[in-house]
Each structure stands twice: as C-alpha cells, then as structure tokens.
Structure 1
Amino acid sequence: MAGLRERKKARTRADLQRHALRLFREQGYAETTVDQIAAAAEVSRATFFRYFPSKEEVVFYDDVDPLMERAFAAQPSGTPLLVAMRAALREAFESLTPEKRELEELRMELGRTVPELRNARQAQFGVVEISRGLAERLGRSPEELDVRLFAGLICGARLAAQAIADHPPGSSYIEAMDAVLGRLAEGVPLADEPLP
C-alpha cells in the first residue's frame, strides 16, 4: 500500500490535472497558462513543474493505463487477445467515477483536436510501446513479426476510434474504441470484399 507521502503526491498530481483540464475546456488549451493552472490548484509554478515538465504533459499523463494493464494481466489464460483487450478497456473505465471518466474523455479529446498535442502524442506513443506490453504477457519477443503486427493493429484501432469519436464531435472515444476492438475480434468483412 502506498505511503502517506506517495498518496499526497498522487493527490497533488490529480488536482493539477483536474484543474488544468477544466481550464482547457473553459478557456482553450492555448489560452491557458501554467500559472493559471498552478493558481487554480493552489500550488506554486515550481510545484507544477515538479509534477509535469510541460503543459502538454498534463494532458498526456494517464493514470488509467495502469488500471488497463492490471485488468489485461488478470484476463484468464486462453482468452483471445482482442477479447482480453476489450474486457480490460471496459473494466478499467467502468471502475472510474463519473467525474474521472468525463475528464478522461476530455483528455483524449484534447489529444485528438489540439494540433500540437496530436502531433506530440503520435510521436510519443506507438508500436514499440505496445509490443513490449504484449510480449511480456505472451512470453514472446517484442521484435517478433506477429507481436509488432498486432501492436500496429492496436495503433490503427486507436486512430480509427479517434476518427469515429470526432464525428459527430463530442462522441465518446471509449465507446468508439470498444466498438473498434469488438469489430476486429469479429473479423473485418471488408478485407474479403472483392474490388469491383
């Protein structure tokens, strides 16, 4: 169990992110300053930078990924990968409070719609990171062709879910990702569609 100091640090990080996301929603990402975020969270500018090296990192900080990783690791042996990933996604997001889920949707929307965040996120997250997690669970090498291919499929699924969530604007990324993983698990009939 985390000690008092670790819990206090986690609370401060969560408060900074919560206030930042609220300000981004109300004022816009570009219009919100680090000083405004720090003031809203009642901490100093220096404290902000102890927790986040930049304003964009407030959006990128993801405390739901560990929940998904634990849920994925707990899936029964023999569960097909896409089924396990979909179950982990649902379990992680269903465990969130309504406020936290709303903030997660906002965080993901900012990552999709703010150009500088979208470009930085695409550079930051990709096939290599997903390959490592898959390889660890499967007891395989992250460099294996099938592991990399599957990781690429998940990256593509995330991009598809982002596009789906953007139309109509305000749609749920979480629901879009769930639908995309479900469709992949069923197979993609379009892949067998003959060209006219």
Structure 2
Amino acid sequence: MSGEGPSLRERRRAETRRMIQSHAMRLFTEHGYDATTVNDVARASGVSPMTVYRHFPTKEDLVLQDRYDPFIAARVAARPADEPLVRRIGRALVDTTRTLVEPGTRPSPEKDLLLARVRLMIDTPALRARHLDGQLATQQAIVDALLGDAPDPEPEFRAWAAAGACLAAMHVALTRWAREDGRPDLPDLIAAALAAAFDDDFG
C-alpha cells in the first residue's frame, strides 16, 4: 500500500546513494577533494560514473547533497503554531539533529558521514561557495513549512529572517563540532549556539 513507507526500490536507491557518498567521503579525506575524480568514486563504489551522476549531478553534490530538509520541515510544522518563530525553528533543528546523529556510545554511520562532509565543506573553497545554495534550499523548506503555499509578504519576510538566523547559528555549531573532531554532542552544541544568538532556551 502507498503511504506506509518507502518501497523496496526507494530503499535500494537510498542505500546506493549512501554507499556512493560514503566512498566519496573516504576518498576525499584520504586523497583530497581536488585530487579525487568522479571516476575514482565510481570505481571505489563498484558502479558506473553514470550511476554516480544519476544520484549526484555534480562532484560538489557528493559532499553537499543530503536529504535532511524534509525532516527539518516536518519538525517545524509539528511545533506549536503559537511559538515564537526562532524557538519553533531552532528547536526543530535541534530535534532533527538529535534524531539523525543518534548521540550516545554506539557508532553512528550518519554522524560519521556528516562529520566528514562538514570538514570538507569548511576546508574546501569550492564547497564553501556552493554551501549557500544548500542553505537557501533549507530556508525555503522551513518557510514553506511555516506558511504554506501562499504566504503574505510580511510573515514571509519574518520567516525568512528567522530561518536564516537560526541556520547561521547552526553553522557556527557545526564548524566548532568539526574542528573538535565530533567530540561535543552536536544537538547540545546547536542549542547552545541558538541560545547565545537569541538568549532563549532551545534544549
């Protein structure tokens, strides 16, 4: 039945994406982003270059592309509608991150992948430039979750401002987390960055 979760084909597609991205992160980390080609990633992944490009249209996408925006948007939409915007968005970001990285003592492949991606994004100029595109897409997903398809100009303006400010605070937390080799608890670090920016509780 539809609506009960991803189909077998969708799950296999997602597994292929994760496998390709995982090999790409390993190669980029070991040999450098600029020295690694898409063909190198394809060979390491046991797939054709065409398969890599089908999942990741550009080399930059191997690092920057993720599927987090729908999770963030769903969390934002589920927050109480009467919450202040920055609290509603900020707590959704913290909750989403907590779900994704699974803090604790057990290994988390998602956490390891995210850490490798953030390190590359920080250290590679071409990726830093492209990162803005991804942030704008995340802002759009948050604004859509808050306002729907036909927002009024003033609420839309406030929503874009709040989303941009929250994501900027999150970026500061991600940068520190990567610089400290992923040792701090990332959701707590994001909550602390948001609290510093807005003088509010985001735990």
Same fold judged by TM-score > 0.5?
Answer: yes
> C-alpha deviations, 1:143-170, integer Å up to 9, x for none?
6245324423433443454456546961
TM-score, normalised by the number of residues in structure 1: 0.77
Structure scoring higher RCO (CA < 8 A, sep ≥ 6) equals 2
Distance across 1 between alignment mates of 2:84 and 2:177? 31
Q: Percent identity of the aligned residues? A: 28
Distance across 2 between alignment mates of 1:127 and 1:37? 27
Could you tell me whether the CA contact under 8 Å between 2:173 and 2:193 is conserved in 1?
no
| CA deviation after TM superposition for structure 1 residue 136, in Å | 4.3
Greater displacement, 107-116 / 171-180: 171-180
- Which of 30, 34, 39 is the aligned partner of 2:34? 30
Matched, 1:133 2:142: yes
RMSD: 2.9
* SS of residue matched to 2:179: coil
Matched, 1:154 2:158: no
1:60-99, aligned counterparts within 5 Å?
60-96=64-100, 97=102, 98-99=108-109
Matched, 1:53 2:57: yes
Distance across 2 between alignment mates of 1:53 and 1:175? 34
Could you tell me whether the CA contact under 8 Å between 1:82 and 1:182 is conserved in 2?
no
Distance across 2 between alignment mates of 1:32 and 1:110? 13
Could you tell me whether the CA contact under 8 Å between 1:68 and 1:92 is conserved in 2?
yes
TM-score, normalised by the number of residues in structure 2: 0.75
Could you tell me whether the CA contact under 8 Å between 1:23 and 1:32 is conserved in 2?
yes
Q: Which residue of 2 aligns with 1:41?
A: 45
Could you tell me whether the CA contact under 8 Å between 2:71 and 2:96 is conserved in 1?
yes
* SS of residue matched to 1:54: coil
Q: Which residue of 1 aligns with 2:123?
A: 113
Distance across 2 between alignment mates of 1:10 and 1:128? 20
Distance across 2 between alignment mates of 1:159 and 1:28? 27
Greater displacement, 127-136 / 32-41: 127-136
1:3-22, aligned counterparts within 5 Å?
3-22=7-26
Distance across 2 between alignment mates of 1:67 and 1:161? 16
Q: Which residue of 2 aligns with 1:190?
A: none
Distance across 1 between alignment mates of 2:144 and 2:63? 27
1:184-195, aligned counterparts within 5 Å?
184-186=197-199
Could you tell me whether the CA contact under 8 Å between 2:64 and 2:134 is conserved in 1?
no
Distance across 2 between alignment mates of 1:5 and 1:135? 28
Q: How many residues matched?
A: 186
